[in-house]
Amino acid sequence: MIKEGKHYIKVMNIFKKIVALSLCLIISFFTFINIRADSHVVYTASDSKVNYGPGSQLLGGAEIMLVNGQTTSQMMSYVITAKTGEVIVVDGGLPEDADHLREIIKKKGNRVSAWFITHPHSDHVGAIAKIINDGLGDMIIDGVYYNFLEDDWYIRNEAYRSQMVLDCKAAFEKLNPDTRHSQVKRGDVISIGDIKVNVLNGPYLFGVNSINNSSIAYRFDIAGTRVLFLGDMGPEAGEQLKNDVPAFELKSDIVQMAHHGQYGVNEDVYKIINPIVCMWNAPEWLWDNNNGSGKGSGTYLTLQVREWMDKIGVKKHYVMKDGDQIIK
């Protein structure tokens, strides 16, 4: 009886271990499935591997220049320099911004390894179109990355701006065909030196705010820091991006505020991105929502978006109103 009792206890102990192990495997499996299936997980600041503080180096020797506009209008222009020396431009601004941009590029060696375009509005592509049309001169552009739609789509959806798009396309046709990368799409990864550029979407085809909502989102991975460019995505494109791209891909340390920081993507998208640094392509009047009668007197949503960023816990804002700025 004693031997049988011992045998019974031994069998039961083995059985309990098997059951416990099985439960652990089941729990782990469903946890994994839930994480993979839930693309709307909200990450907290503790998820970021980047430490931000006095004297901190976010980009490991690379730098981002938020380029100031040369008019009082909103525009978007960035010049990124890799640690290995390559120069990257994102958009570029208005035609009036072309000369200033030329000077910046010239000081960096007059060669652009990659020029990324979010969408063909003049405050984003006017400068590059003017530079091409005026003649590159000594400037070298190794590659331009974009995805424009058929002409009739722009004519149907934003007829009053369609000529601007056609003019930009005509300018790009003057570039060497090997330079034009005109079909960037979700899943593309472009390596420029030690920087990886992830294309998060192709152009969305919305019938409202159409060209803004066709913006391409690019995520730059620089020395362990993620930098997300949203172009002029509006609420509709932002929600589509949230549905198409898992949260772990959207999560970024630095974000370019969509549509100059107002009437861009919704708060829920920014919560998923959960940045610690924001870049605003906003002149002073837009930053303060000032229509001439003081702060908050306009109809822009900038002040509301600034409140969203405060709630998220953003630590630093770089704003175009303060001139050319360097992020390192």
In order, the DSSP letters of 238-261 are: HHHHHHHS-HHHH--SEEEPGGGG
Residue 1 covered by a domain: no
Q: CA–CA distance from 256 to each of 48, 188, 196 (Å)?
A: 17, 20, 17
pLDDT band at 37 (very low <50, low <70, confident <90, very high): very low
Residue type, 267: E
Say if 40 falls within a structural domain. Answer: no
CATH code for position 143: 3.60.15.10
| Nearest alpha carbon to residue 116 among 229, 252, 278, 223 | 229
pLDDT at 79: 98
279 Rama class: left (phi>0) / alpha (psi -120 to 50) / beta: beta
Confidence at 57, pLDDT banded by 50, 70, 90: confident
Residue 20: pLDDT band by 50, 70, 90 thresholds? low
Q: What is the domain count for the chain?
A: 1
The residues, any chain, with a CB within 8 Å of residue 46's CB and separated by 6 or more, are none
Residue burial 164-190, b: 16+ Cβ < 10 Å; e: rest: bbebbbebbeebeeeeebeebeeebeb
Quote the CA–CA distance of 153 and 264 in Å, as a whole number. 22
Q: Give the residue from 255, 183, 246, 181 showing the smallest Cα distance to 219.
A: 255
pTM, 2 dp: 0.85
Q: Strand 218-222 and strand 195-199: pairing?
A: antiparallel
Asked if the model's pLDDT at residue 299 lies above 70, the reply is yes
Q: Print the domain residue range for 120.
A: 49-323
Taking the C-alpha atoms of residue 94 and residue 114, their distance in angstroms, rounded to an integer, is 19
How far is the C-alpha of 53 from the C-alpha of 316, rounded, in Å?
A: 9
Task: Please tell me the predicted confidence (pLDDT) of residue 187.
Answer: 97
Position 7 scores a pLDDT of 55
Q: Mind listing the pLDDT tens digit for each residue in 130-180?
A: 999 999 999 999 999 999 999 999 999 999 999 999 999 999 999 999 999
Indicate whether 21 belongs to any domain. Answer: no
Statement: residue 34 has pLDDT above 60: no
Q: Is residue 13 part of a domain?
A: no
- Residue 54 above 90 pLDDT? no
Distance of CA 113 to the CA centre of its chain: 19
Range scoring the smallest mean pLDDT among 4-13, 92-101, 274-283, 306-315:
4-13
Which of the two residues, 166 and 53, has the higher pLDDT score? 166
State both tokens at 251: 């999560």
pLDDT digits (tens, 9 = 90+) for 223-239: 999 999 999 999 999 99
Has residue 306 got a pLDDT over 80?
yes
Q: Is residue 231 part of a domain?
A: yes
pLDDT, tens digit, 9 for 90 and up, residues 90-118: 999 999 999 999 999 999 999 999 999 99
DSSP code, position 46: G
And the tokens for 218?
């690019």
Structure-model confidence comparison of residues 65 and 14, the more confident one: 65
The answer to the question of residue 242 being in a domain is: yes
